[in-house]
Chains A and B, each alone.
Chain A
Amino acid sequence: MLYRPKADTIRRRWQNNSHICFFTKPESNLCWVKCTKRIACNKQLHDLQHGQEGMLVWVLFLLCQGVAPALTQDLCQRDAPNGYKVRISLKTALGEDAYEWNQSEMFFFRATMAFAMRRHFQMETYNVDNIILCVQTSRVSFWFVVTSPDNATMLIPKADVEKAVRMARHRINNAFLLSDRTLEFLGIHPTLAAPVNPDTPPWLIVFGVVIGAVCAGIIALLVSSLLQKRRKEKGMTEDGQDEEDMQVKGVENGINLDGTYNRGFTDDDRFTKL
Chain B
Amino acid sequence: MRCLQVSNQGLEERIPSYEELEKLENEEAGDRPKWDNKAQYMLTIVGFCVGLGNVWRFPYLCQSHGGGAFMIPFLILLVLEGVPLLHLEFAIGQRLRKGSVGVWSAIHPYLTGIGIGSMCVSFLVSLYYNTIMAWVMWYFFNSFQDPLPWSQCPVNANMTGLVSECERSSPVDYYWYRETLNTTPDIGNTGGLQWWMVLCHVSAWALLFICISRGIETTGKAVYITSTLPYVVLTIFLIRGLTLKGSLNGVKFLFTPDMNELMNPTTWLDAGAQVFYSFSLAFGGLLSFSSYNSVHNNCEQDAVIISIVNGATAVYAATVIYTIIGFRATEKFDDCITGNILTLLNTFDLPEGNVTENNYDHVLQSLNGTHPEVIQGLNLKTCDLNSFLSEGVEGTGLAFIVFTEAITKMPVSPVWSVLFFIMLFCLGLSSMFGNIEGVLVPLQDLGVFPKSWPKEAIAGTTCVLCCFVGLIFVQGSGNYWLALFDSYGGSIPLLIIAFCEMVGVVYLYGIDRFNDDIEFMIGHKPNLFWQITWRFVSPTIMFVIFVFYFVTKVQETPMYKAWNPESDNFPTLEEKEYPTWIFAIIFILAGIPGLSVPLTAVYKCLRNRCCKKDNEFKQDDLNTITKQVHLTDEATKNKPDIPETADGR
Q: Which residues of A contact B (CB under 8 A)?
A: 87, 89-92, 137-141, 192, 194-195, 202-207, 210-211, 214-215, 217-218, 221-222, 225, 229, 251, 255, 257, 260-263, 266-267
Contacts and interface: CB of A to CB of B under 8 A. Distances in A.
B155 A195 contact: yes
A181 to B, nearest CB: 10
15 contacts: A87-B346, A139-B346, A139-B349, A202-B141, A202-B144, A202-B145, A207-B200, A211-B206, A214-B203, A214-B210, A218-B209, A221-B210, A225-B214, A225-B454, A261-B636
A48 B304 CA distance: 106
A260 B345 CA distance: 93
A91 B349 CA distance: 14
A203 B137 CA distance: 10
Contact of B349 (A138, A221, A222): A138
B10 interface: no
A68 to B, nearest CB: 19
Nearest to B211: A217
Given A214-B206, A261-B646, A222 B456 contact: yes
B168 to A, nearest CB: 17
B640 interface: yes
B299 to A, nearest CB: 27
Nearest to A87: B346
Interface in B125-153: 137-138, 140-142, 144-145
B557 to A, nearest CB: 40
Nearest to B20: A260
Given A139-B350, A214-B210, A225-B214, A263 B627 contact: yes
Interface in B177-211: 196, 199-200, 203, 206-207, 209-210
A205 B200 CA distance: 13
B310 to A, nearest CB: 30
B186 to A, nearest CB: 28
A91 B353 contact: yes
A178 B342 CA distance: 17
Contact of A202 (B142, B345, B640): B142
A206 B141 CA distance: 6
B469 interface: no
Contacts of A206: 140-141, 144
Contacts of B647: 263, 266-267
A201 B638 CA distance: 71
Given A210-B137, A261-B633, 20 more contacts: A87-B346, A89-B342, A89-B352, A138-B351, A141-B346, A192-B160, A192-B162, A194-B155, A203-B138, A203-B141, A203-B142, A203-B145, A207-B199, A210-B141, A210-B207, A215-B206, A218-B210, A261-B646, A263-B647, A267-B647
B629 interface: yes
B528 interface: no
Contacts of B199: 207, 211
A183 to B, nearest CB: 13
Closest 3 A-B residue pairs measured CB to CB? A137-B349, A203-B141, A139-B349
Nearest to B454: A225
Interface residues of B, number: 45
Contacts of A251: 643
A261 B632 contact: yes
Contact of A139 (B351, B633, B640): B351
B161 A192 contact: yes
Nearest to B146: A202
A260 B23 CA distance: 10
Contact of A207 (B141, B353, B632, B640): B141
A192 B349 contact: no
B159 interface: yes
Nearest to A194: B159
A139 B144 contact: no
Given A87-B346, A263-B627, A266-B647, A192 B141 contact: no
B509 to A, nearest CB: 27
A18 B137 CA distance: 89
Contacts of B633: 261
B533 interface: no
A262 B23 CA distance: 13
A225 B647 CA distance: 27
A207 B154 contact: no
B298 interface: no
Contact of B352 (A91, A202, A210, A222): A91
Contact of A260 (B346, B351, B629): B629
A85 to B, nearest CB: 10
A229 B456 CA distance: 12
Contacts of A263: 627, 632, 646-647
Contacts of B352: 89-92, 139-140
Given A202-B142, A251-B643, A140 B203 contact: no
A205 B142 CA distance: 10
A188 to B, nearest CB: 14
Nearest to A262: B29
Contact of B350 (A138, A195, A255, A266): A138
A214 B141 contact: no
A64 B456 CA distance: 94
B213 interface: yes
B467 to A, nearest CB: 13
Contacts of A91: 352-353
Contacts of A202: 141-142, 144-145
A225 B214 CA distance: 9
Contacts of A255: 640
Contacts of B203: 207, 210-211, 214
B470 to A, nearest CB: 17
A92 B355 CA distance: 13
Contacts of B456: 221-222, 225
* B196, B210, B353, B454, most chain A CB atoms within 10 A: B210
A79 to B, nearest CB: 14
Contact of B29 (A140, A204, A215, A260): A260
B210 A192 contact: no
A218 B464 CA distance: 14
A221 B155 CA distance: 46
A66 to B, nearest CB: 21
Contacts of B137: 210
A218 B206 contact: yes
Interface string B438-456: 0000000000000000101
A125 to B, nearest CB: 34
A100 B636 CA distance: 105
Contacts of A87: 346
Contacts of A137: 349
Given A218-B206, A221-B213, A260-B629, A192 B144 contact: no
Contacts of B643: 251, 257, 261
B139 to A, nearest CB: 9
Contacts of B350: 138-139
A90 B206 CA distance: 56
Nearest to A214: B206
B539 to A, nearest CB: 40
B463 to A, nearest CB: 11
A141 to B, nearest CB: 6
B30 to A, nearest CB: 11
Given A194-B159, A195-B154, A255-B640, A229 B454 contact: yes
A262 B200 CA distance: 47
Interface string B621-649: 00000010100110010001001001100
